[in-house]
Structure 1
Amino acid sequence: MKLFLSLLLFLVSLCSMAQDLIINELDADTPSTDTAEFIELKSTVPNFTTDGFILVFFNGSSNGGDSSYLVIDLNGYVTDNNGLLVLGGSEVVPYPQVLLADNIIQNGADAVGIYQASIDDFPEGTLANQNNLIDALVYGTNDAVDTELLALLGETVQYNDNGTTTTPRSIQRFVDAMGNESYVADTPTPRGENDGSGIPINPIAISVSQSQYNEGDVFDIVFTAEVNLSSDLNFTIGLSNGGFDTADFTGNLNLTILSGANSTSTAINLINDTADEGDEVLRIQFLDLVEPIVPANNNIEIRVVDDDFTMAQWGTPVNPTTGLVASTQPNGYYNSLDGLADIELRQALQNIIADPSMVRAQTYADVIDILLEADENPMNSNQVWLVYSEEGRPKLDLQTGSNSTGKWNREHTFPRSRGGFDSIEEDDIADGIDIFWTTEADSLRHGNSDAHALRAADAAENSSRGNQHYGEYVGPTGTLGSFRGDVARSVLYMEIRYNGLEVVNGFPDTVGQLGDLATLLDWHRNDPPDDFEMNRNNIVYQWQRNRNPFIDQPLLVEYIWGDNVGEVWNQPLSINVNTLSELIVYPNPAKDHVFISGLSNTTKFEIWTVDGTLVQRYTSIAQPLQLNLAPGLYIMKVEEGHQSVTRKLVVK
């Protein structure tokens, strides 16, 4: 008899452990607001530690194969006075105890399960199973029933949250007086009992009139409780975030809502210092609220705009300058090209820019750090310059979630889907300039993170371009097209850098090919390299140890794809032809114009910087020749037929 009772008590104990934690509510699809999705767990007793439990989400789609796509370790968390623990997005109200990335909970048909296990037991892609399963919920948003997923988790019903309606719904657990359990789709009740019982909470909301202020501004933060307080409430807030700290503001952070009242406020003065710190973000956060007082919202971010930005000496692509930024190419970098033509010229060029003993490949995450410097707006060091929309955008507005409005991201000028390259898991780690992959001409996958062909772009415009060929895509309406030569040179670089890529005429569907070559050659010729492009070439070179040769030596494009195909290449500054020795350029030094004597049937006239950058080209010359050059030393090259001559030109 004693043995029987002991066995019975042991079985009851196991049942009790199995019911310690259950799925109480799930909102997997909040219409138009994926930032307000959440899952609520409930313990049988309040203030229950969830150590030893994990939460596993399963993808029931055909691609997901009823396997795990997200695992959350519940170690370190505790349920509240009502036994509830909410894990959710940033706009869940009241604010969740555990913040999840926005839009991370998939709609369905999917499932979520609580396991008494380790996260190591569920690597990504683990098939749903019942090993150590405590509770599970299979759900959908008006999806077909996933019978396989139900069977794998030992469930019989797939619950629907009616997620296609405009009114938010969540799947909620109810238990009737007889102990019968059921799930119903109803108005979400995060951090509250689904039947309205339990200890009432009193959420406090943070409100600010603007989401952005300038250094030197004063603004109020207002705190409002849902119901009046029955006693004085003392609480503390914090504003620090990253580089923004107590040296950047003054104001009271220790606050009180008096008994009988429901609000208080504090004034924050943003210090206008002289340091160029860049734009920063302060984060308003509660530090010490105690139940039943809870945050209604939290971690409210406010942009602080720094007016101490710097401006470069060179212009933006819409107001370009030339000759102010010198190429940092090593001496003799392109010497191996001289005297070559056709296939030999192509191969020699690839040998330089894909040299495995020199060239480095960085991760796709590293590209963000590269672009923050390489695509910096010359007119405002706190911004990046957007390639298609031709405008500056705060560096802080990098897209990190599903919201693309007003954000920027990384644009592949040679689209990934057309190039046949993509990210791998290691690409998600920004490990810095000194950690890199060895790469060569056959390393096509590294095209995914080649910064010579990646540009900062408006996120919405990037999506609009999609994987269109250039010529199909010509940029936003109303822009100047200042990006066209830049993107032309970047995709032509990709053809030479990586085996398997080709720029062709037309709009092909073959992976590895991008069009339209004729359009891109026209863009290259009509939008020559400028200082902005040379500066980014120099910066990318620091990271990748290779250069875009069509920025350094723009005329190379003609010898590989254009008018000079088949001709022998020699670097412009190495030409030593004296048959036009009578040609005279005056005045020299010049200011804004020059005259040229001794011309007869000139077919081509070019001006180069002393480091080999083409800055102006003319096919016909009207005297005097108008110059638009920064002060400095230049090389003038004149071609008549097969003869050419160079002259030094000083611009004062």
Structure 2
Amino acid sequence: MNRIFTIVILLFSTVGWSQTIVINELDADSPSTDTAEFVELKSQTPNFSTDGYILVFFNGSSSGEDSSYMVIDLNGYTTDNNGLLLIGSTGVAPFPQVVISENVIQNGADAVGLYLASINDFPEGTLATQTNLVDAIVYGTNDSDDTALLALMGETTQYNDNGTNANPKSIQRFVDNMDVESFSTATPTPRRENDGSGSDINPVAISVVETQYSEDESFDITFTSETDVTSDLNFTISLDNYGFDNSDFTGNLSLTIPNGTNTTSTTITLIDDSADEGDEVLQIQFLDLVEPIVASNNYVEVRVVDNDFTIAAWGTPVNSTTGLVQSTQPEGYYDSIDGFADVALRQALQDVIADPTVVRAQTYADVIDILKEADQNPLNSNQVWLVYSEEGRPKLDFQTSSDNTGKWNREHTYPRSRGGFFDIEEDEVADGIDIFWTTKADSLRHGFSDAHALRAADASEEQFSWKSALWTICWSNRNFRKF
């Protein structure tokens, strides 16, 4: 009898699982900043491999036409001890197992589908489908129901995220004691069971007092667990990030939070070398935390300001450079236009400046690296000079997200709307400033990435300044030599 009874209980406990893995929680809109968006999956068994699965996001707007705009490959990941896999940006806490960019999950009416398929099956703009679909949620933020998208995904309900700045919400999956599945909005519970059950986790947070230090300075990194540890917690960290490595600092990277406590710290001293390496960014990251200990945050960045920057022999564009900077125009460059006028002169000029054997174009993404040299601040080689605000800004502060505060970006000195410039997908790929495409005089697309008409500008600036345009033409010390 006992054996039969156990089998019956097992059958009842699996009634709520029609799939091996499901979408367990979705926060598509973290109001104001959109830095805490995430999707959470839950597997029927813990430590489940998601090899072969993908997440596909569909845009339900009129322009999106219920088609895909983003795909996330889940190969190489496994769910945790509670069967959870958290996919989100670095602003989500605890820290996601799968990291995506900030502000990429659209608000709705939209959908996300979990598929047993290849990312190649969903090129951008693929119409929503139920083929190989494992689970799906159609959602919105007080949007009208997208009945077409619901039908395409095989769903009957569009769930609403009612979150606010003061009271964030997520759409969560619940299963009651009768194994009936339902969804409701509640305070987000990333990497924790929605109903509060499951094995406890103990997230550890990284904190620093400042996010910028100069060479030869010291600073503390503090690590704090959510609850006291029940045995000595030994872990290691790394600060490496691109060119920043162990040669740039001293300090202990192997740490212990003693039993019965919840914090420890280490002191890092930045080495003051004589090399001008440019400003760098160290990245504090955990290397070996083991569940139930998990990262609360991770990849915490600290700016290291290099004090070995160089100063040019000339001043900034607000000061005269007469006699200090020489033209880089080749000898006899315009000799062929002598004797022409009117239409013939225009054609002669075009023949010089648009010679397809000479004139080349870079991608728009390559212009970022070009401006770091062409618009370098004469007073600090680790900065660019901003065209409108007429000030220096660290080269590292290029805008890479929706947040433009304190950032710089590329600005067309001749408006795109007037020039008719357009771009293609390849323009967003940086293939190197020494790799060129052949262009021609009437190429509006190549005009889009013409480095001579692009300047470094404060990313929040929108209004064109004729004063700035004037010295854009006149600033003769701009380093065009290589480009």
The answer for the alignment partner of 2:391 in structure 1 is 391
- Further displaced range: 337-346 or 397-406: 337-346
Partner secondary structure for residue 460 of structure 1: coil
Decide whether the 8 Å contact of 1:320 with 1:531 is kept in 2: no
Q: Which amino acid aligns with 2:114?
A: I
The answer for the alignment partner of 1:474 in structure 2 is 465
What is the CA distance between 1:339 and its match in structure 2? 1.9
In 1: Cα distance, 2:109 partner to 2:418 partner: 32
> How many pairs are equivalent?
469
Q: Which amino acid aligns with 1:255?
A: L
1:365-423 C-alpha deviation (Å, 9 max, x unpaired): 11011101000000000000000000000000000111100000000112223322222
Partner secondary structure for residue 367 of structure 1: helix
Partner secondary structure for residue 234 of structure 2: strand
In 1: Cα distance, 2:175 partner to 2:81 partner: 19
What is the CA distance between 1:165 and its match in structure 2? 5.6
* Structure number having the greater helix percentage: 1
1:486 is aligned to 2:467: no
Q: Structure 2: which 5+ runs fail to align?
A: 1-14
Query: In the TM superposition, what are the counterparts of 1:454-465 in structure 2 within 5 Å?
Result: 454-461=454-461, 464-465=462-463
Percent identity reads 70
The answer for the alignment partner of 1:267 in structure 2 is 267
Partner secondary structure for residue 326 of structure 2: coil
The answer for the alignment partner of 1:31 in structure 2 is 31
The answer for the alignment partner of 1:143 in structure 2 is 143
Partner secondary structure for residue 447 of structure 1: helix
Partner secondary structure for residue 330 of structure 1: coil
What is the CA distance between 1:434 and its match in structure 2? 3.5
The answer for the alignment partner of 1:129 in structure 2 is 129
What is the CA distance between 1:164 and its match in structure 2? 4.8
The answer for the alignment partner of 1:376 in structure 2 is 376
In 2: Cα distance, 1:42 partner to 1:266 partner: 36
Partner secondary structure for residue 152 of structure 1: helix
What is the CA distance between 1:531 and its match in structure 2? 3.6
The answer for the alignment partner of 1:598 in structure 2 is none
The answer for the alignment partner of 2:297 in structure 1 is 297
1:592-648 C-alpha deviation (Å, 9 max, x unpaired): xxxxxxxxxxxxxxxxxxxxxxxxxxxxxxxxxxxxxxxxxxxxxxxxxxxxxxxxx
Decide whether the 8 Å contact of 2:56 with 2:72 is kept in 1: yes
1:153 is aligned to 2:138: no
Query: In the TM superposition, what are the counterparts of 1:327-476 in structure 2 within 5 Å?
Result: 327-461=327-461, 464-465=462-463, 473-474=464-465
Decide whether the 8 Å contact of 2:16 with 2:181 is kept in 1: no
Decide whether the 8 Å contact of 1:354 with 1:440 is kept in 2: yes
What is the CA distance between 1:16 and its match in structure 2? 10
Decide whether the 8 Å contact of 2:25 with 2:172 is kept in 1: yes
In 2: Cα distance, 1:381 partner to 1:232 partner: 47
The answer for the alignment partner of 2:4 in structure 1 is none
Decide whether the 8 Å contact of 2:201 with 2:292 is kept in 1: yes
The answer for the alignment partner of 1:113 in structure 2 is 113
In 2: Cα distance, 1:338 partner to 1:388 partner: 36
Q: Which amino acid aligns with 2:406?
A: G
1:481-503 C-alpha deviation (Å, 9 max, x unpaired): 4x23134x4xxxxxxxxxxxxxx
Shift of the 79–154 alpha-carbon distance from structure 1 to 2, 3 Å rule, reads same
Decide whether the 8 Å contact of 1:350 with 1:441 is kept in 2: yes
What is the CA distance between 1:232 and its match in structure 2? 0.2
Decide whether the 8 Å contact of 1:113 with 1:134 is kept in 2: yes
1:27-77 C-alpha deviation (Å, 9 max, x unpaired): 000011211110000000000000011110000000000000001110000
The answer for the alignment partner of 1:71 in structure 2 is 71
1:458-484 C-alpha deviation (Å, 9 max, x unpaired): 0001xx22xxxxxxx437xxxxx4x23
Pick 1 or 2: higher relative contact order, CA cutoff 8 A, min separation 6: 2
Decide whether the 8 Å contact of 1:95 with 1:295 is kept in 2: yes
TM-score (norm 1): 0.71
Decide whether the 8 Å contact of 2:240 with 2:282 is kept in 1: yes
Decide whether the 8 Å contact of 2:16 with 2:180 is kept in 1: no
1:110-130 C-alpha deviation (Å, 9 max, x unpaired): 000000111111111100000
In 2: Cα distance, 1:457 partner to 1:421 partner: 19
In 1: Cα distance, 2:356 partner to 2:146 partner: 50
Partner secondary structure for residue 326 of structure 1: coil
Partner secondary structure for residue 351 of structure 1: helix
Q: Which amino acid aligns with 1:351?
A: D
Query: In the TM superposition, what are the counterparts of 1:224-243 in structure 2 within 5 Å?
Result: 224-243=224-243
What is the CA distance between 1:341 and its match in structure 2? 2.0
1:120-164 C-alpha deviation (Å, 9 max, x unpaired): 111111000000100000000011110000000100000001145
Partner secondary structure for residue 191 of structure 2: coil
Higher CA-based Rg: 1
In 2: Cα distance, 1:165 partner to 1:138 partner: 22
In 1: Cα distance, 2:165 partner to 2:475 partner: 53
Partner secondary structure for residue 150 of structure 1: helix
Decide whether the 8 Å contact of 2:369 with 2:433 is kept in 1: no
In 2: Cα distance, 1:241 partner to 1:321 partner: 38
Q: Which amino acid aligns with 1:159?
A: Y
- Further displaced range: 408-417 or 111-120: 408-417
1:570-603 C-alpha deviation (Å, 9 max, x unpaired): xxxxxxxxxxxxxxxxxxxxxxxxxxxxxxxxxx
Q: Which amino acid aligns with 2:44?
A: T
The answer for the alignment partner of 1:286 in structure 2 is 286
In 2: Cα distance, 1:422 partner to 1:303 partner: 35
Decide whether the 8 Å contact of 1:141 with 1:164 is kept in 2: no
The answer for the alignment partner of 2:221 in structure 1 is 221
Q: Structure 1: which 5+ runs fail to align?
A: 1-14, 466-472, 476-480, 490-528, 544-652
Decide whether the 8 Å contact of 2:138 with 2:157 is kept in 1: yes
Decide whether the 8 Å contact of 1:324 with 1:531 is kept in 2: no
In 1: Cα distance, 2:17 partner to 2:419 partner: 54
What is the CA distance between 1:436 and its match in structure 2? 1.7
In 1: Cα distance, 2:475 partner to 2:389 partner: 18
In 1: Cα distance, 2:452 partner to 2:363 partner: 13
1:550-582 C-alpha deviation (Å, 9 max, x unpaired): xxxxxxxxxxxxxxxxxxxxxxxxxxxxxxxxx
Partner secondary structure for residue 317 of structure 2: coil
Partner secondary structure for residue 142 of structure 1: coil
